[in-house]
Amino acid sequence: MGHRMFSSVRNGVALFAFAFCLCRVLPLGGTEPVSMGDMVGFRGILVPPVEKSDVTKLIDAGTIDADGFTYIVLNLAGESKETPTRPGGTVGALLVPDVAPFDKVLTQLNVVAVPLEIKASMAAETYPYFWAKQARFDVGFPRYRVLLYNTTGVTATVAVFAYRSR
């Protein structure tokens, strides 16, 4: 029993060490997704204040390949370096189908059609950090463009994660 418990603890420590090392070597920033198997992440993205309705100013974080996957679980988290200028502001991500005709509707008409959305509110209790409750969506398209918005009035550093499942 004691040997089995020690082995379990040792495996847990090894898994934690591996995860820590993985986090340290993955690049931060930029717009290229960081692939972690069936998880894709966009980290270290600076998102200045931009309203969700101001489509031409939404921050393009990149694309998520969803071809062959059944559903996707999204999460969003981030940090603000300044005190928000307005109460109740949110930071969010819109996943817009990156296929015709939705891509043309986005670029030519400045309309975000059929988005998947996740958002986080900045709360005084957790300032300067914020995070969203993860959300699960059925996949309806092979690829999604990730667009970010921020209604807090101050710039935030944002991370978006998508776990894709078959």
Side-chain half-sphere exposure of 12, counting CA atoms within 13 A: 6
Greatest mean pLDDT range, 15-29, 42-56, 96-110: 42-56
Domain count, the chain: 1
pLDDT band (50, 70, 90) for residue 29: very low
Place of tokens 């931009």: 50
Rounded mean pLDDT of the chain? Answer: 81
Mean pLDDT of the region 98-126 = 87
71, part of any domain? yes
pLDDT band (50, 70, 90) for residue 97: very high
8, part of any domain? no
Q: State the pLDDT at residue 22.
A: 38
Q: State the pLDDT at residue 8.
A: 45
1, part of any domain? no
Mean pLDDT of the region 12-41 = 50
Structure tokens at 61: 């974080």
Q: Tell which residue, 20, 134, 130, has the closest CA to residue 78.
A: 130
Residue range 63-94, pLDDT digits in tens: 999 999 999 999 999 999 888 777 778 999 99
- Specify the amino acid at residue 165: S
Q: What pTM value is reported for the model?
A: 0.76
- CATH number for the domain harbouring residue 101: 2.60.120.380
Q: Which domain holds residue 71?
A: 31-165
Report the greatest alpha carbon distance in the chain. Answer: 66
Question: Distance between CA 67 and CA 32 in Å, rounded?
Answer: 18
